[in-house]
Structure 1
């Protein structure tokens, strides 16, 4: 399934089809786990794309949406750790990755730990960011049940509240866009099931058996997964290195990206990530696939409202993409931006 400049594939598992994509060259790096993951929608955001493309200069980055999340087909995210370990293995098999490094974030960490425990010969190393051992330690039983019910009943409000927790160090406009994206990619029931799945994960039986080289990173101000849970995860993994990072953003592609990227690349054996391409790319190459798609429709004479209806976006999101594209292209009008895209 083409989506922009990536190809999204599906692999069948006992828990439904799991969506995955790959980009880059080199040894495989399997990456996933965030509960709000969506292969196509994530790719629209510049910060996310830049993060993945930087990794892809050195590795074949294989991303996947966890079962029941994003583009993976299950109606609801399944409970327990087994569906997540099956998903990782299925994606590796479908990608013909006999062995791989695993880069797991947040809720992906227990599944990655379990996979490394169950099949050590297939996992070269682990990078665990913002993770935990047991989901029930994230909050008290009352708070967990209350949050799941809030998501189910008041998804519009809680999507904004969760956005403030996930990406506090961003602008108000960026947070509103992210909240809107969460609502667009998941219904209230599907989001509530995904959150319940986050709380259900438990790698306690596996964490002590992992022998793969492991790097654990955690931001000190992370309100989604508190820092002590990251410390516990590192302490229970044999020989794991732990790095406490400054900042409060839950996602590694927001905030001080270099503080995340440099230790990750060193852990993966990349000696030098400083070099950049010798020449500037053409201006149009700075645009995301979504920005190019929207400007093509602008060139056809469609209004923001018409484009929003055609692409299942809000008019506000369309306007933001056009404004971002104009800034990147340094042109005075949307018509000029559209003309550049049409000319290529």
Structure 2
């Protein structure tokens, strides 16, 4: 059953990691595969109707087959786990990709999923089509100054004391870091997610492993299309971390989201920016999938962009197209640039390739 082109239910499955730990993952949507390493706080079932995450799941499911999973010790994955090392977490991602039966896919790393995605990309470049980082980083840094040590210990004490309490005063501190501009309903959901997703012992153990996890040395090895999105006012992961990622990955593109939230919410002006950037970035993967599996190329373009391509196919140059459509030549050029971006084309032959793809689409 589908609603608005999006599967209305998710298919939950289980993969077995290298050390035998069961990793829960969910599949929904249609189109080329997009694996999401959401990391840390997640619960596949609880997230499905979330007032914080639902818009991501719905909209990304319109352009891709979304495969997301709960990390070891979290959500619906096996809970009684002691190994939260980078090696184990990379093995979990490997297990999910293999169990899902996908040969090549785009990988979206959120927050603390960054180091895992970087390591996976360095080890398995042949498996990835492209890489997206959202509110993420290459590695945490150990506390070095007395102030850093004090802050680290204070946060640890808050987790130990407040995580399991029936009231949410302590958990609300973390919620405020993630969505400071959220509504009370959204904040209550994050408060609850913290308890639903993980117990206090696992949260503390995983946190200690993450503080010594750093994949920065691998960044120079990455050689695939990369998009980095990060909120300027992110309090959970400072914007500078996203900027550093983009600066150290060859050819990476950085998009600054005008938001204070670690998780951009549906009613923010930054949300359509995020969605457009990710949709356009994934467009080449959609075009590489058989026409029976996704909408044809025309569905990616606006009516005006299709008109311009059709005229180009008839041999019109930019001046003639501008005259025919009563536009300025500059506007026609801008439309062509938008087309090239959506179709993942560049260089001298981009115009010819765009026309060829439009003409090659199946007849209605």
TM-score, with length taken from structure 1 = 0.73
Partners of 2:87 and 2:27 lie apart in 1 by 23
Q: For residues 35-50 of structure 1, what are the structure 2 equivalents within 5 Å?
A: 35-50=40-55
How far the C-alpha of 1:109 sits from its partner, in A, is: 1.1
After alignment, is 107-116 or 6-15 more displaced?
A: 6-15
Partners of 2:237 and 2:245 lie apart in 1 by 12
Instruction: Quote the residue 2:217 is aligned against.
Output: 205
Instruction: Quote the residue 2:100 is aligned against.
Output: 95
Maintained 8 Å contact 2:229/2:257: yes
Instruction: Quote the residue 1:112 is aligned against.
Output: 117
Instruction: Quote the residue 1:177 is aligned against.
Output: 189
Partners of 1:77 and 1:36 lie apart in 2 by 17
Partners of 2:240 and 2:55 lie apart in 1 by 29
Instruction: Quote the residue 1:265 is aligned against.
Output: 279
- 2:243 aligned counterpart, secondary structure: helix
CA spacing shift, 1:262–1:185, aligned 2, 3 Å: same
The answer on 1:56 being equivalent to 2:61 is yes
How far the C-alpha of 1:15 sits from its partner, in A, is: 6.1
CA spacing shift, 1:164–1:47, aligned 2, 3 Å: closer
* One of 237, 240, 253 as aligned partner of 1:228: 240
CA spacing shift, 1:128–1:10, aligned 2, 3 Å: same
Unaligned runs of 5+ in 2: 1-7, 287-296, 303-364
- 2:237 aligned counterpart, secondary structure: coil
How far the C-alpha of 1:160 sits from its partner, in A, is: 0.9
The answer on 1:147 being equivalent to 2:155 is yes
Encode CA deviations 1:148-187: one digit per residue, 9 max, x unaligned. Answer: 2320222243311000111111122331232023223322
How many residues in Structure 1 have an aligned counterpart in Structure 2?
272
Maintained 8 Å contact 1:214/1:241: yes
How far the C-alpha of 1:189 sits from its partner, in A, is: 1.7
Q: For residues 183-198 of structure 1, what are the structure 2 equivalents within 5 Å?
A: 183-198=195-210
Q: For residues 65-104 of structure 1, what are the structure 2 equivalents within 5 Å?
A: 65-76=70-81, 78-104=83-109
After alignment, is 101-110 or 197-206 more displaced?
A: 197-206
CA spacing shift, 1:152–1:138, aligned 2, 3 Å: same
Instruction: Quote the residue 2:320 is aligned against.
Output: none
The answer on 1:5 being equivalent to 2:19 is no
Partners of 1:230 and 1:11 lie apart in 2 by 30
TM-score, with length taken from structure 2 = 0.69
Partners of 1:40 and 1:194 lie apart in 2 by 21
Maintained 8 Å contact 2:38/2:109: yes
CA spacing shift, 1:107–1:15, aligned 2, 3 Å: farther
CA RMSD across the alignment: 2.3
After alignment, is 72-81 or 215-224 more displaced?
A: 72-81
How far the C-alpha of 1:72 sits from its partner, in A, is: 1.3
Unaligned runs of 5+ in 1: 276-344
Radius of gyration: which is bigger?
2
Partners of 1:89 and 1:199 lie apart in 2 by 22
How far the C-alpha of 1:196 sits from its partner, in A, is: 3.0
How far the C-alpha of 1:54 sits from its partner, in A, is: 1.2
- 2:68 aligned counterpart, secondary structure: strand
After alignment, is 217-226 or 145-154 more displaced?
A: 145-154
After alignment, is 254-263 or 60-69 more displaced?
A: 254-263
CA spacing shift, 1:218–1:137, aligned 2, 3 Å: farther
Encode CA deviations 1:11-48: one digit per residue, 9 max, x unaligned. Answer: 11116111101111221100023311110110021452
How far the C-alpha of 1:117 sits from its partner, in A, is: 0.6
Maintained 8 Å contact 1:69/1:194: no
